[in-house]
A and B are shown apart, each in its own frame.
Chain A
Amino acid sequence: MDLIKADLNAPHSMGTTIIGVTYNGGVVLGADSRTSTGVYVANRASDKITQLTDNVYVCRSGSAADSQIVSDYVRYFLHQHTIQLGQPATVKVAANLVRLIAYSNKNMLQTGLIVGGWDKYEGGKIYGIPLGGTIIEQPFAIGGSGSSYLYGFFDQAWKEGMTKDEAEQLVVKAVSLAIARDGASGGVVRTVIINSEGVTRNFYPGDKLPLWHEELEPQNSLLDILNSTIPEPMHI
């Protein structure tokens, strides 16, 4: 009883998988949807990809409270900046604002963020801002607890100049691989595609994701597991 109580009072954290990938013409951001308080899943359908401006979104990981507050502040500063500048903010400015807050408060904050978007000067850009507040512009970025399982996968599967559909399929596959192995990631896969034409949000429910090694089919009743057949392994 004590153990459970201690867990429920734990800060709301998002053991997460977040991914940002550039492609020929824009970016694709992807994330899982699990928010955990200790061992309890507080929200199994959370949206970790938050809007900063019309053309820039951020993927949040780490402490839920810290990342929500940081993105609120950045959205507010960017709104002011857009009014003062007279045109949409660039992805670089958005990422730098996030970095300024993350770095100045590095002792208090525990959140890793991936900023991605499209602007008319640089096109699609991804900036990773991990714990500590460094900013690094990358062709793709991964973050969160589930990202540990994806470094090798991206080394092998990432290539320059993908199309929009290739990039999105890569992101969905990667998040579902991380969900299969990381206990703190799960739920559904959400993706956001940002390019010159605008923003598209997609949703992949958990039971529609591919099954990996030794994973069972989704069941309506646990009793069905006794009668189900072992699924065939996926071929890449």
Chain B
Amino acid sequence: MEFKMAQAAAEVPPKGGFSFDLCRRNEMLSNKGVPPPSFRKTGTTIVGLIFQDGVILGADTRATEGPIVCDKNCEKIHYMAPNIYCCGAGTAADTKAVTDMVSSQLQLHRYHTGRESRVVTALTLLKYHLFNYQGYFQAALVLGGVDANGPHLHTIYPHGSTDTLPLATMGSGSLAAMAVFESKYHEGLTKAEGINLVCEAICSGIFNDLGIGSNVDVCVITKGHKEYLRNHQLPNPRTYVNSKGFSFPKKTEVLLTRVTPLEEKVEVIEGGDAMEE
């Protein structure tokens, strides 16, 4: 029985793409009352805006598995190229996988061309990949960077459509964040104003949406320079920490200590002849 299942899992579907071999088994299991495993989603706010010198990206840091927060401090701003970063909302595996894949493709492209990567290249690669999977790749992305043609900011939806905008928000908190942006954004923001506005937008998501929380990550990209401000703001500190600290009455006991040095298997001959064919 085990051998057969292993075989089925290892078989590549003849036409490529998704294999639906296990669908009947999943249906049978759920009919018997076995709940399907939930996947790790990022109920998220991710934002981006263009300021006078470049692009600022922002994200919260909570990853959820159903109702549980499985990671209180995850990284949602992914590296794509030295001058391009991408925030991801949706299924954490999907966003990480697609950004890693496109990041590798961009690096190979840089080796081929000998030039800095352009944001539209990353955009096209991401867009075609997501369109080919017809929305089953649950990744909603905010892509931003500065290249030879100036600063660029794009949003990419799970079905593969893209928008080019000076301000972008995605994720379950996108409405709250967009409300903040629409009221306070203007052209020609300075870096400090921009970072402030991004933090405000993320915080509005953090405090008004249950799927979003913890800390604020910010990434500032300008021509030839980038600043990744991990945990730039921590608006949710642990408030009720026991001031006495934790004391464990029974520590782990050391029963035995034995040190076994590694035996040398290879003799090194000083001043030996070089190897010859």
Contact = CB atoms under 8 A, between A and B. Distances in A.
Interface string A66-109: 00110000000000000000000000000000000000000000
Interface string A40-84: 101101100000000000000001110011000000000000000
B165 A63 contact: no
Contacts of A68: 127, 160-162
A63 B159 contact: yes
A145 interface: no
Interface in A14-56: 35, 37, 40, 42-43, 45-46
Interface in B152-185: 155, 157-163, 165, 172, 174-175
A65 B165 contact: no
Nearest to A42: B163
Number of chain B interface residues as a range: 10 to 19
Contacts of B228: none
B131 interface: yes
Contacts of A8: 172, 174
Interface in B119-160: 127-128, 131, 135, 138, 155, 157-160
B175 A43 contact: no
Given A5-B172, A8-B174, A40-B175, A65 B163 contact: no
A200 interface: no
Interface of A: 1, 4-5, 8-9, 11-12, 35, 37, 40, 42-43, 45-46, 63-65, 68-69
Interface of B: 127-128, 131, 135, 138, 155, 157-163, 165, 172, 174-175, 210
10 contacts: A4-B175, A12-B159, A35-B161, A35-B163, A42-B157, A42-B163, A45-B165, A63-B161, A68-B160, A69-B127
